[in-house]
Amino acid sequence: MLNFIDPQFFPDQTYTKHYDYYLVMLSVLIAVIGSYSAFGTAERIHSSNNKTHIALWTLFGATTMGVCIWSMHFIGSLALMLPVPITYDLAITILSILPAFEASGAVLWLMAHDTYSTAKLLLCGLLLGAGVGAMHYTGMAAMQMNAHMGYITPIFFISIIVAVVLATIALKIKFQAINHGAYQFLSKPQVLSAVVMGIAISGMHFTAMKAVVYMPIDVAITTNAGLQTSHLTLIVGLTTFLVLIIALLLPLAFRLKEMTVALKQNEESLII
């Protein structure tokens, strides 16, 4: 359960938060690259007429975006340095990807079907922003330490607004790219939408981290044996690397294959 703190009654004793800024930058980079990869699958969904292919590309894109959001969160969390040891509940850590996965799948499917409308854009922005927020706060619940966590109420809600607003802007750029031009692996709308979405994910995370307050406790809390930060770093790092490599190369490989087939057909028609 989330513990909210009224700014007027701020606790007297709190732990000071410090960050490893190399990990902060890495987390933002992962958010941008992951968004770029996931948004690339929207074109594959949009251009496919096969229901099975549509379902598979949607699943693939949702997995990519879900892992991107999840990885950004935990690498961003690993950047946090507190004067107490931190471990992570394994079950909650794994389950925390579900809100991001489900929201991403719904948004990618909506993006690639029917026509653009303001109502559809706002719905997608709300879904994706809420998915990012739900993933973050579920992931925060996985943290185990000898400290109480509380959230400064106004900043908590600002973090959700940041995610929804920036996600909506990113999706607007991507919607327009899908509906008004052919897909290009490197294009201004593709890059811009990914950058804005990456900022939405990381902006929500670090705004939310600004909201959290860690309060020391006198009696040690007994926690379940959890993932050490070194183990979490390895799991998140390997998962992210594998997913992003596949997510970047697979849509491109399909696009190149289609271009090769089209060129071959053109050559054959010229010969005839």
DSSP for 28-39, written as a single string: HHHHHHHHHHHH
Of 204, 254, 225, the C-alpha closest to 43 is: 254
- Would you say residue 21 has pLDDT above 60? yes
Beta-carbon count within 10 A of 271 CB:
6
Instruction: Output the CA torsion sign for 48, 54, 60, 64.
Output: positive
Helices in 48-152 by DSSP H: which ranges?
A: 51-78, 90-95, 97-111, 118-141
pLDDT of residue 138: 94
pTM: 0.84
d(Cα 6, Cα 61) in Å, to the nearest integer?
39
Mean of pLDDT values over 238-260: 76
d(Cα 256, Cα 55) in Å, to the nearest integer?
21
Condensed to tens digits (0 to 9), the pLDDT of residues 181-198 reads 555 556 777 888 889 999
Condensed to tens digits (0 to 9), the pLDDT of residues 213-247 reads 999 887 655 555 566 676 777 777 788 888 878 87
Write the CB contacts of 69 (distance below 8 Å, at least 6 apart in sequence).
31, 34, 97, 100, 104, 131, 132, 135, 201
Mean of pLDDT values over 79-100: 90
Beta-carbon count within 10 A of 126 CB:
16
